[in-house]
Structure 1
Amino acid sequence: MPLLAAPTITAGTLAALGQPVLPMDGGGMLRPWREADAASVVEAYADPHIQRWHVRRADSVAEAREWITLWRRTWQSETAGHWAVTADDGKTVLGRLALKSWDFFDGGAEVAYWTMPSARGAGVAARAVRAAARWALDEAGFQRLELEHSTANPASCRVAAKAGFEGEGLRRQAARHADGWHDMHRHAKVRQPGREHPSPAGSPECEGKGGL
């Protein structure tokens, strides 16, 4: 069945280019994950906040290495991009940034992130999201990025707002966490040259207590 519109991104384009290293405003970078990062992944997923919002844990360095192998393979399969967020040295892991669920026809992807406990409060997550969004929308050719978080996690809402993602509303009982079903607040940023749409911090959907 012939399509009546061309894909937003041509299949094979990003795999052929290879996964880039992305600089962050104010220092630090996003780079592809390395096997040597496995211990940092285990440390991150031992944190109660990360377990709460990402609903998983890593029980060993070997398991974390398997995750990293899978994260790296998604670039070649053109299904997702996973980056380690690091300090300027490229070694100290500060967090994770992922663009998931690539849709080349409509040009869409989903943003996910976490930060190490020691890196919180310094704007790392927002700067990482901005760097990834800048590359995805301005260079890679994506049209729309979506970001969702539990309404019980206002810290993540603030990250979305600081990164210029506009709040689009609520999806009721849309995600299951260890403590039950959560309403999810959706944000998005689209490729629209010359326009920025930052969402207001502290929107009603984001009231509550929580962390990244």
Structure 2
Amino acid sequence: MPYLTQPVLPAGTLAGTAQPTLATGDGLVLRPWTPEDAPAVHAAFQDPLMHQWHVRAADSEDEADGWIEEWLGEWAEERRAQWAVVDAAGGRLLGRVALRDIVLADGTAEVAYWTVAAARGRGVAARATERLARWALDETGFHRLELLHALRNEASCRVAAKTGFALEGTKRSAVLHPDGWHDMHLHARLRGDRAPGDATPGRRPDPDGPLS
């Protein structure tokens, strides 16, 4: 039975090219993960705040190394895409941004992120998310990106607002965290949406402008 619509993005859109390194223009770089990142990932997941909003824990550097191996393989499978967010000057790990639940045929994905404790309050999550959104929507051709966060996670709600992800509603009792079921805010950004700082639709924000 033939389909009546064409895929938004064909199979191979990601796997057919090397995963790119993306610079924000204001001191951050989004790059593919490397095995050498395992100690920093393990250290990041010792933070109690990570345990509050994430369902996985890293008990050892070897476990973190296994995660990174998974993350690197996901690009070729075109179901997830993961980037390390690092300081452009020194290469220090500041966080992670990712596209999850990628459906190329529909041109959709979900944005996810975390930052290490020392990087919080500096706009790292917002700046990295904005760069990833521009790459996905404007440069690659995705149609819709979603962003989900626990209703109680006000910091993530601020990141969504700063990066042009409109609040669309609340998914009740949608995700199980260690302390029980959480209502989740659903935000989304579409290709063609006005980005933060745009004076007119279609104009991208100054990459050196503040996002926090």
Q: TM-score w.r.t. structure 1 length? A: 0.90
Letter matched to residue 194 of structure 2 = E
Q: Which residue of 1 aligns with 2:91?
A: 91
Q: Which of structure 1's runs of 4+ aligned residues deviate more than 6 A?
A: none
- Pairs within 5 Å for 1:61-140: 61-89=61-89, 91-140=91-140
Is the helix fraction higher in 1 or 2? 1
The question of whether the paired residues in 2 share the 8 Å contact of 1:25 and 1:131 is answered with no
- Please state whether the residue corresponding to 1:106 is helix, strand or coil: coil
TM-score of the two chains, using structure 2 as the length reference: 0.90
CA distance in 1, matches of 2:138, 2:147: 18
Paired with 1:79 and 1:170, the residues of 2 have a C-alpha distance of 25
Question: How far off is 1:91 after superposition?
Answer: 2.5
Per the alignment, do residues 138 and 80 of structure 1 end up closer, same or farther by CA in structure 2, a change over 3 Å counting?
Answer: same
Alignment of 1:113-192 (within 5 A): 113-192=113-192
Tell me the equivalent position of 1:210: none
CA contact (8 A) 1:25 1:127 kept: no
1:196 equivalent in structure 2: 194
Q: Residue 163 of structure 2 contacts residue 195 of structure 2 at CA under 8 Å; is this kept in 1?
A: no
Identical-pair percentage = 54
The Cα shift of 1:165 comes to 0.6
What's the counterpart of residue 42 of structure 2? 42
Contact 1:84 1:95 (C-alpha < 8 Å) held by counterparts: yes
1:52-86 superposed Cα distances (whole Å, 9 cap, x missing partner): 11111111111111100000100001111100000
**Alignment correspondent of 2:2:** 2
- The answer to whether the Cα contact below 8 Å between 1:33 and 1:68 also exists between their aligned partners in 2 is yes
Question: How far apart are the structure 2 equivalents of 1:71 and 1:191?
Answer: 26
SS at match of 1:17: coil
Q: CA RMSD in A?
A: 1.1
Corresponding residue SS for 1:12: coil
Report the Cα offset of residue 197 of structure 1.
Answer: 6.4
Q: Which residue of 2 aligns with 1:209?
A: none
- Residue 179 of structure 1 aligns with an amino acid whose one-letter code is D
Structure 1, unmatched stretches of 5+, are 199-212
Contact 2:11/2:105 (CA < 8 Å) preserved in 1? no
After superposition, the Cα gap between the structure-2 partners of 1:90 and 1:189, relative to the gap in structure 1 and judged at 3 Å, is: farther
Alignment of 1:23-34 (within 5 A): 23-34=23-34
C-alpha separation between the residues in 2 aligned to 1:8 and 1:45? 36
Structure 1 residue 109, shift from structure 2 partner: 0.3
- Name the SS for the 2:49 alignment partner: helix
- Is contact 2:27-2:89 (8 Å) kept? no
The one-letter code matched in structure 2 to 1:77 is E
Name the structure 1 match of 2:209.
Answer: none
Q: What is the CA distance between 1:142 and its match in structure 2?
A: 0.5
Q: For residue 84 of structure 1, give the secondary structure of its aligned residue in structure 2.
A: strand
Count of residue pairs the alignment pairs up: 196
CA contact (8 A) 1:166 1:197 kept: no
Distance 1:6 1:101 in 2: 20
